[in-house]
Structure formats: structure tokens, C-alpha cells
Structure 1
Amino acid sequence: MQPLFRTLLLLFISLKLSAQDHVFLETESFTDKGGWVIDQQSFVVMGSSYLMAHGMGRPVKDATTTILFPKKGKYRVWVRTKDWAPFPKGPGKFQVVLNGKPLNQVFGESGSDVWKWYPGGEIEVQNEQMSVALHDLTGFNGRCDAILFTNSPTFIPPDKLDAMTAFRKQQLKLTDAPTQANNFDLVVIGGGIAGTCAAISASRMGLKVALIQDRPVLGGNNSSEIRVHLMGDVDKNHYPKLGRIVREMDNGDPGNGNPDAKEYGDARKTAIVKGERNISLFLNTHVYKVEKNGDKIVAVVGRDIATNKETRFTGTFFSDCTGDGTIGELAGAEFRMGRESKAETGESLAADKADNFTLGTSNLWASLERDTVSSFPETPWAIQFSDEYHIDDSKADWQWETGFGNFNTITDAEKIRDHNLRAIYGNWSYLKKNKAAKYAKRELAWVAYIGGKRESRRLMGDHVLTQMDIQEGKQYPDGTVTATWTIDLHFPDERNKKYFEGQEFFAGTKHIKVAPYTIPYRCLYSKNISNLFMAGRNISTTHVAFGSTRVMRTCGMMGEVVGFAAYLTKKYNTSPRGVYQEYLPELMAIIKDETPPGKP
């Protein structure tokens, strides 16, 4: 939407609503979330977070809050929700309870998987204060974005995205200037292993750093929310200094999908960051806006995923460690997504034709043996399994993966996660019913509702790493991070594809071994946004090369290099490219641990 049109739309809505009383309630701002969880994974397409009842088939505790009405009288109720698995009606049923009395309408079973407003009837408000609760009926991921109370008998809240975004901002009063954070030398967006290591590295070099993460924990795919173990070696470096911060983040090897959340060291990661006097940590903050001056980013704006409070972060340099290349895309950085063709890259492993194929997203899960027999609900809305095809596992590993070009891993994040849930619940229901001798006393102990992404955008730098760079072991003058992981490009498992073609959720791979090789520093900054670094799975590579660079210990070392380079950009008032062109010997000396910080 053009800025002028958006402004006029906001003005029109404001004038239209001036004679009406609305009470707008974002569910993620509920005082007590109960057993509901905040899901912000689709913020980029919804403009908001929402609450979800993630009970793994057991109803969760009510989410509750209190609201104030401007005056007494009759109000119509609207509830923004969807039916996430309509076959023909899905399982995500819930009620809205006002002052202890549920509305007559049951939500989440409409048969439509589109987010929209549903009428909840009319209520009589006799006291200005009212309690509101979301009451889950199934434990199967019912979800609610917002609730609206209006005294207008004719007003219908908007469903179309642009109009809904404008309406939401007007109701939340987000048109005012956001809170201004202090100015920073380096603003790191993304608190996975790459971003956390970048922030720590820069901090220890004396820079003032903001670390912004859109979840309540650090670690990204290695957090307790996703539970992927760290891979890639840090002990085969050409430069042993690299990897020291990664080792601090490393909590051992709990494997993938370990049911014990503590094994992933969330608290320790946070404690390390909070112990850094030069880092300001901003958790639960989704950055959705970039401000530029020419080819430079001057600020980013983030919104708290629970309170919707907005904060503006100004900085000299920025590092996109979001995985999705979100900041780069917002800033207009050049990027690629999908597979290049053999003709374009000259890589033997490249696709014959360029396409949108990407590695998928995993939602891991685990079960535990209990003392007593348990049951699991029937799941007619889920993917259906049979004696001919089912997956006889008590926990997931990396293979539980959806994407593969059938879904866009960014804009279809909710669909991907929901497809994974339909596979997990459907398979588990089958095992409980048909493999009772093995699974009668096992129950689902944990299912990830946050997707663990592998591939999306790759931001282009001054060098694009290729298959040939990797397999020929090319040693460029700016070769920094030593990578060791195989070229690991996932594809749909053949048997899974046979039964669920176009809807695959289980992966296979072929590991192509490589000798340790170095990733050029030129892959770690944008070619056309002059003050943007990047670290993680969104660096400048081809799709084939990405298959090797994407693992987290390797990504963490990229973050360490970004911290060192950011120090030099400040020291010499130069750019990330300027470090390569003019100060590369000093960067390499720091990486080799030959030069004390602050000395040329």
C-alpha cells in the first residue's frame, strides 16, 4: 500500500469511528495467558501475534484478562479467528467467556482456514469493567487473534489485510511515535546462535550493541522452543580463536527433539548475554519496519509480541541474523530464494532449471513412557495413516519436515506448521490405536509449535559462495569461518512422496562430504545496503553451498566475525565493504588472535 493511501485510509477510519465506541482487545495482551501460547510466526503476513491453545490433545487452562468499557449499554461482539484444519471442520474449538458466562457461539470450527471476524452476538454491559476468558475445548491448537466490542449495530470490522492493518494500528494507537531506544553502534536483529554470537563478539570488542529477538528465549533453532542440536565443527578451524563464543553457547548434544527443555540451556544463554555490559537485550520484539537514508539503514522499528508496544532502534551498523533475511528484504537488499540453475552457477548439484524449491521447516516432537495406559483422541481432520504407511517412532528427528517448494517458508509459515501438526497428531493417533502393545503407556510429552526453519532468503554480498568454492577448497584472502558440514540438501522422502505427493512432510538427504573450507568475509555483508552485515543461514551463497553453511555452530562463528568487523567499521569510520578493501589485514589479525583489540 502506498504511504499516502495508507494515511488517507487511517484518517477515513478514524473519522468514521469517531462516533462509535470500540473496545479492541488483542489476545496476546491478555494478563494471564493460562495454557495458551503466543504465536508470532506469521507476523509478516498478519501484522500481529495471536494466542493459540497448544495442548497436544488436552484442553489448556483459560487465558484471562479484564477490560474497561467507556460506557454501559449494548455491544456487539466480534472474534477474529480461523479453522486451521477444516476437514470439513477442524479441532480448534474454543469459547469466549464474559464475566463467567460463555457466548453462545463456539469458535474455531467454521470450516474456513482464512483469518476473519466472526460475530459473537450481542451483550448488555452493565458495569464498565468486564472479565474476558478464552476457554479451550480440545487442546488442538485453537487460535484467536483479537476480540472487538462495538456499540454500533452496523459496523463490521475489516477482513482484508491492508484495511485490517490500518484498523489494528488505529485501535492500538500505534500511529504515535514509538519509544526511542538509545543509539547503538551495532543493532543485531535475530537472537539465534548467529545473532547472539555476533552481539557478544561486538560487545567484547567495545561496541554498544542492541540484540533484538522476537521470542522470549535466545538460541533460535537451538532453543527449548524448537530443540535442534548444534552441528558443524569448531575444532577444525584455520583460526582457533573462532568458535570460542560458540562453545559458550553450546549446551552439549541433547539431540533433536529432547523432551527435557533444560537440555537446551535457555537460561544459560540469556545469562551470558545479560552479563555483557555493552549489550542491551530486547526479547519478544518483532522488527517489522526499516528506515533508510540512501543506501544506509538508519533505524528499525520493533513491536513487542505481547504488549504491542513499539520501539525504534537507531544505529550506525545493523546485522540481519533473522534467518529469513527480514531486515535485508525490508531495506531493499538484493537476495535470492530458491534454487539457481546449472546454467547460472555452473554447479553440478544445481537444479536443471531455477525454481522456488527450498529446504523445509521442522516441528519436532517427543513422547515419554508413563506408568499407566493413556488414550489419544480420534483425529479425522489430521493426515490419515494406515498399516501400509505410518511412521513407527516414539519421537521425531530432523526428517519431520514440510516445505520443498510446495509452501513458501516465510509467507506460508503458519500453513507449514499446521501441516506438520496434522502429520504429528494423525500419526500419533494411529500408533495409539493400532500399535497399542508398544504405545499404550506412551504419551506426547512435547510438540514444537514454533517451526524450525532451514531455508528462505539468502542476502547477496560481494561474494556468492558456490559448490566449487567448497569442493575445491578455495582459500580466498578473506577466508574466515571454517565450515565442515556436508553439502546437505534435503528432499522429500520417496516413500512419503508416494503416499502424499505435493503434501510431503518427511525428508531424505544425501550427505556429500567436504574437507574443511573457509567462508569469505565478503559473504557476510550486503552488496547494496552499505551498513548491513548478515550472519546465519541468510548469508551470501548459492542454494547448493547453503546446504553446507547453514548449520548452527558454523553460523555462530559467522556472528563472531561480524562482531570483529563491526569493531573495525567503528574504529575507522568505514563500511563493511571498507573493512575488506582497506583493513582486511587487521581483521585477519584479530581473527588469528595476533592483534590486541584497539591496536592496528
Structure 2
Amino acid sequence: MKVEKSADIVIIGGSTGGCAAALSACRMGYKVILTEETKWIGGQLTSQAVPPDEHPWIEQFGCTQSYRMFRQKVREHYLSRYSVKTEHRHLMFNPGNAIVSRISHEPKAALQVLQEMLAPYVHNGLITILTEHRITSVHCDGDYIKAATVIHETTQSELVLVGTYFLDGTDCGDVLPLANVPYVTGAESQAQTDEPNAVTGDPEPLNMQAITHCFAVDYREGEDHTIEKPESYSFWRDYQPNVWPDRLLSWTAPQPISLKPITYSLMPNANQFSLFHYRRLIDSSQFDNNEFPHDISLINWPQNDYLLGPVFEIEESERRLHLKQAKDLSLSLLYWMQTEAPRPDGGEGYPGLKVRPDVVGTEDGLAMYPYIRESRRIQAEFTVLEQHLSAEIRGENGAVQYEDSVGIGCYRIDLHPSTGGDNYIDISSLPFQIPLGSFIPVQFQNLIPACKNIGTTHITNGCYRLHPVEWNIGEVAGYLAGYSLQKGTIPRYVRNHDPLLKEFQKMLTQQGIELQWPVIHAV
């Protein structure tokens, strides 16, 4: 017999956005159930092991107050627990000094901070967190979701979760097909969206950005930590994507903006871009007492972007195959670096590269879950298009201003190579707003997207998918559910009735959510 649990708000998926949604819903005093498929809540910040990708002004403005609090708590995690050298103990301390991030850090640090932020609501009973629970079915009555069934991955025990509002915080939008919510996947066509960078001809629903199975390593010169040769190594060693200038397992790849070949290096070398420093999680030179004897780097590079197929909207057997092959690619990349990668001194291989399972919380050293860049996306009352925020199209006019703005974000329109054979799409965008209309499904009344599943396109997902934007989306989703409960209304009415919309926006600003940008330039 299935056990039933109830809450005001049920959040399926403990992604970055799902966690932010839980925080805001609990702040409003509502009872929440948060489920997560893996052992770690946090999504791209934790189980996917991706340090934050952020815009240049993140330290001054351009994110929500609670996201800023998260970042500060990450800094405090290191400054209060470790012997950080005096000269590095400052307000903008960056644990990893990564090239890509102003606050690169270990995923387990992010996990601890998220748990700390949720702890008061765990202790007072407002939130129940169910890790290792995967959604299996949804019960609907017309255009309302009434319940969702989740199963524990180990025990196979089932729970029926009943709530007034349901938020989809899964990285792949897993609630949508189970509830028959209208949604889109992959690449829309130019005929559908008029976007200059959309595909020509028919839409391509299985043409999605690559996933990446990240892993962490350190480097120990003079030691040998070579892993066992992966079974599929010979395939990956010789594999060259059609859009690639060399084999995938090489130091040469397309430069994302120009698409011209660029040759990287592992460590800093002359004028070459160092991949090891690219997403470095720990810069050991900043710490005393040998607490971190080696730098630690997160491997999320062009070389382990998996292009051979998507991981949803396909048969289960095919999904499992692609997930396995994505892992095999990452292990093959590690083995290639350890044994065959060219060195500046003319030698081959860096056997001192040591995989770090402790950093990502797994036995094999690969992240618990692949980095998902693109989700199922609801068919929304309003869909964000490339022409709303492209620097080339909008120019000095700036991005389109939305009357129903519920947040802001900024990142280049950055799409990785895709399962449909497309190369990078990396174009300049303008600082943008997040419209409430992109949260409102065309059909359902009590379902709210809480991460990468709002009403964007394949193209605009490329700048709405990053950490601070996903956090903002999730935080607003939680407040939207709570506000709708408080007012006895539904999200659609909040968006389309001006007094409600203005009051909701006022509440968001009071909670530290910025709704518009100061005057700044494109990125």
C-alpha cells in the first residue's frame, strides 16, 4: 500500500532552482515537500558539480538577495573552517581562483551551505526533504495536478505526494510529460520563432545541447594515478565530431565565438588557455597548514561534452546507453590525459592527475548526475526569444523590457555543440529581465516551472540556464505559489490582473529580488 504525504507546495526536483523555491516558499510559512533523485540537493551546484557561471557585475548587483547570501556563506565556509592566508582573507575571496567564476568552490561546500540555509525549516517542520526519490507518475483532475508518486531508488518504496501547488524543479522537466503538460524540446525552427540562429527547415525536438559528466581531479607531479583503461577508450580516442577541427580527445577545439580552432593546454603555458585553471575549485596557494596540498579542478571541458544523443524524450534503454556513454567519454578523457596527452616538453601523458571521488561524493569520481544544459520547456503564455535580448538585434535599445518582470539575468547566449550536429552558438546578449509570463503554462493552473523549464527557446535557454538565473527562477516560483495561496488565486491571474501583479512585484523587491538593471553594456 502506498503511503501518502501532503504539503501546501510539492517541489519535484532538488535542483538549484528547486532549492531556491523551497527557501522562498518556507519563508512565506508554507509547508513544503522537496524531492531529489540523487543523494545531494542542489543540482548544477552540487550533484552536477559545476561551479557558478556568472556575469561580470555579480559582486555588486544582478542577483537576488538570497543568492548573494548563498555566495557569502560559501566564502564563510572556507574562511571559518580553513587556514586561509591573511592576504587572501577579503570580501571577494575566491576559493578556486577559476578563470570562469568569481566564486569557484567544491560541490560539497555548496551542499553544506544549502543544507544550512534550509536547516531552520527542517527543524520547525515546514520542509520535508526526500533524497533518492524519483517521480514515476502524476495524477491530474482536468488542468490541476492533484498528486505525484515518487519511488525511493534503493528500497523501491512509493510515496504519494499531495499538494495544492506543484513545482517542477527537475533538470529535465520530468513532471511535464507525466502530467501531459504542453511542452517543447530541442530546437525550434525559424518558421516558429523568427530567431536568426534557430534551425532552418523543420523543428528538431531531439536536437539538444550536449550533456557533460563532470569529474574532479588534482595533479601530483611525479606520482602515477593512471586509471584502468576504459573499455570504450579506442572509440573515444579516434572519435572526431563533424564540426570539430581535430579528434575530440585532443587539446584543439573550436573557439566558441569564432569557431576557429584553438589549442588549449592543461597547465599554464605561454599564451595558451589553461584548462586546469578554467574551472579550478581549490587554489591551494591560498591556504596554510597543508589543508589543501594540491589544486583541485573540475573537468567540464569541450572534450567531455557528450554529443551522440539526448537523455530524455527517448526510450529508456537508449537513455541508459547515452548516460553510460557520457560517463565512458569522461573516463576516456581522463585516461587520455594520463597516458597520451601531448606535453609542452615533448612527452606524453600526465599520470599525476588523480581523480577525486571525495569531492563529488561518488565511488567512481564522476559527478552524481550529468550536467544538463537544456530541459523540456513549458509552452508558456509568453516565450522569451533571441530578438528580445540579442545585442546585434537590439543594440542601443537594450533588451526588451517586460511589464511583468520578476527578476534579471545576464550571460551570453551560449549554446554548446548539440546532439543534432550543431557547433557552438555563442553570441552577445544584453542584460535581460525574467518575465512572469514565461512561468505560466498555457493550460495547467497549479504547476509552476522552477528551473530551466520556463518558456524560453532552444536559443534563449543558452543565457537563462546559468546558476544565478536558475536560482532567481526557482525563488520566484516558490513566492508565486505562496502568494497565490495567500490570495486564494492562481498564478495566471497574478500575471494578468494588474493590481495583483504590482503587489506581487512589490513583494519580490521587498524580498531582495531585483526586477530591472541599471544602465550597462552587452556581454
Superposition TM-score, scaled by structure 1 size: 0.62
Contact 1:188 1:318 in 2 (8 A): yes
Could you tell me which amino acid in structure 2 is paired with residue 272 of structure 1? M
- Which of 345, 349, 352 in structure 1 is aligned with 2:193? 345
Q: Is 2:197 aligned against 1:294? A: no
Counterpart Cα distance in 2 of 1:402 and 1:571: 44
User: 1:320: Cα distance to partner?
Assistant: 0.7
1:333 corresponds in structure 2 to 181
Change (3 A) 1:366 1:503: farther
Contact between 1:299 and 1:313, CA under 8 Å: does it hold in 2? yes
1:188–1:199: 8 Å Cα contact kept in structure 2?
yes
Given candidates 245, 259, 266, the residue that maps to 2:111 is 266
- Which residue identity does 1:418 align to in structure 2? K
Tell me how far 1:581 sits from its aligned partner: 2.1
Q: Distance in 2 between matches of 1:426 and 1:593?
A: 49
Q: Equivalents in 1 of 2:225, 2:128: separation in Å?
A: 46
Tell me how far 1:265 sits from its aligned partner: 2.2
SS at match of 2:8: strand
Distance 1:401 1:413, change over 3 A: farther
Residue pairs, 1:138-153, within 5 angstroms? none
Give the 3 Å change call, closer, same or farther, for CA 437–323 of structure 1 in structure 2: closer
Following superposition of structure 1 onto structure 2, how do residues 376-387 of structure 1 map, counting pairs within 5 Å?
A: 376-382=227-233, 383-385=235-237
Q: Counterpart of 2:65? A: 244
Structure 1 residues 384 and 338: CA distance shift in structure 2, 3 A:
closer
Within 1, Cα distance between the matches of 2:140 and 2:351? Answer: 58
Distance between the aligned counterparts of 2:182 and 2:104, measured in 1? 40
Q: Is the 8 A contact 1:409 1:453 kept in 2?
A: no
- State the Cα distance separating 1:231 from its structure 2 match: 2.2
Q: Is the 8 A contact 2:306 2:326 kept in 1?
A: no
- Choose the corresponding residue for 1:312, options 160, 176, 199: 160
The residue type equivalent to 2:300 in the other structure is D
Residues 440-499 of structure 1 deviation map (CA, whole Å, 9 limit, x = unaligned): 33333333352111113111121111112223411121012212011112226xxxxxxx
* Contact persistence 1:214–1:284 (CA under 8 A): yes
- Does 511-520 or 553-562 show the bigger shift? 511-520
- 1:399-414 → structure 2 map (5 Å cutoff): 399-402=302-305, 404=307, 406-409=309-312, 411=314, 412-414=318-320
**SS at 1:385 equivalent:** helix
Give the 5 Å matches for 1:44-193: 176=1, 178-181=2-5, 183-193=6-16
Structure with higher Rg: it is: 1
Q: Distance in 2 between matches of 1:564 and 1:476?
A: 19
Extract unaligned runs of 5+ from structure 1. Answer: 1-175, 493-501, 596-600
Task: Decide whether the 8 Å contact of 1:209 with 1:279 is kept in 2.
Answer: yes
Q: Which amino acid aligns with 1:180?
A: E
Residue 463 and residue 179 in structure 1: after superposition, are their counterparts in 2 closer, same or farther (change >3 A)? same
- Partner in structure 1 of residue 78 of structure 2: none
Cα gap change, 1:563/1:374 in structure 2, threshold over 3 Å: closer, same or farther? closer
Structure-2 change in CA distance of 1:594 and 1:360 (3 Å): closer
2:464 aligned to which of 536, 549, 566: 549
Read off the aligned partner of 1:268 and give its amino acid letter.
Answer: V
Task: Give a deviation string over 1:297-331, Cα, whole Å, max 9, x none.
Answer: 01111111122221111111111111211112211
Name the amino acid aligned to 1:460.
Q
Contact map agreement 2:311 2:323 (CA 8 A) in 1: no
Instruction: Quote the Cα distance in structure 1 between the aligned partners of 2:184 and 2:135.
Output: 21
| Corresponding residue number in structure 2 for 1:372 | 223
Following superposition, the deviation at residue 557 of structure 1 comes to 0.5
- Residue number in structure 2 paired with 1:397: 300
Whole-angstrom distance in 2 between the partners of 1:557 and 1:226 = 19
2:491 is matched with which residue? 576
- 2:208 maps to which residue? 358
Match of 2:80 in 1: none
Q: 1:369 to 1:405 in 2, by over 3 A?
A: closer
1:360–1:381 Cα change, 3 Å: closer
Aligned counterpart for 1:229 among listed residues 32, 48, 51 = 51
Which has the larger displacement, 249-258 or 463-472? 249-258
- Provide the secondary structure at the position in 1 that maps to 2:484: helix
Separation (CA, whole Å) in 2 of partners of 1:189 and 1:594: 24
Structure with higher RCO (Cα < 8 A, 6+ apart): 2
Aligned to 1:513: 428
Q: Secondary structure at the match of 1:522?
A: helix
Q: Secondary structure at the match of 2:354?
A: strand
Residue 397 of structure 1 and its aligned partner are, at CA, apart by 2.4
Q: 2:400 aligns with which of 474, 479, 491?
A: 474
Partner of 1:275: helix, strand, or coil? helix
Change (3 A) 1:563 1:441: closer
- Deviation of the 1:264 alpha carbon: 3.8
In 2, are the aligned partners of 1:237 and 1:482 still within 8 Å (CA)? no
**Structure 2 contact 16–45 (Cα < 8 Å) conserved:** yes
1:324 aligned onto 2:172? yes
1:548–1:576: structure 2 CA closer, same or farther, 3 Å change rule?
same
**Distance change (3 Å), C-alpha of 1:322 and 1:584:** same
The aligned counterpart of 1:423 is: 329
The aligned amino acid for 2:3 is T
CA distance in 2, matches of 1:362, 1:559: 23
Question: Residue type of the partner of 2:322?
Answer: I
**1:454 alignment partner AA:** R
Whole-angstrom CA distance in 2 between matches of 1:186 and 1:479: 23
Q: For 2:32, give the aligned amino acid.
A: V
Contact 1:273 1:281 survives alignment (8 Å): no
1:536 is the counterpart of 2:451: yes
CA distance in 2, matches of 1:363, 1:287: 22
CA distance in 2, matches of 1:563, 1:219: 15
Quickly say closer, same or farther: Cα 1:573–1:423, change in 2 above 3 A: same
Q: Letter of the aligned partner of 1:440 in structure 2?
A: P
Displacement of 1:401 in angstroms is: 4.6
Q: Which amino acid aligns with 1:407?
A: P
Supply the distance in 1 between the matched residues of 2:60 and 2:331 (Cα, whole angstroms). 46
Q: Which runs of 5+ in 2 are unaligned?
A: 76-93, 240-245, 252-265, 267-275, 277-296, 342-346, 357-364, 513-523
2-structure distance, mates of 1:550, 1:184: 28
Q: More strand per residue: 1 or 2? A: 1
Instruction: Describe the superposition over 1:534-570 as per-residue Cα deviations: whole angstroms up to 9, x where unpaired.
Output: 1211111111111111112101101111222222211
Residues 38 and 369, structure 2, Cα contact 8 Å, conserved in 1:
no
TM-score by length of 2: 0.70
Shift of 1:263: 5.5
Question: Cα RMSD between the aligned structures?
Answer: 3.2
Matches of 1:546 and 1:262 in 2, distance apart?
A: 23
SS at match of 2:164: strand
Partner of 1:220: 43
- Partner amino acid, structure 2, of 1:201: S
For residue 201 of structure 1, report the CA deviation from its aligned partner. 0.6
Comparing 471-480 with 348-357, which one deviates more in the overlay? 471-480
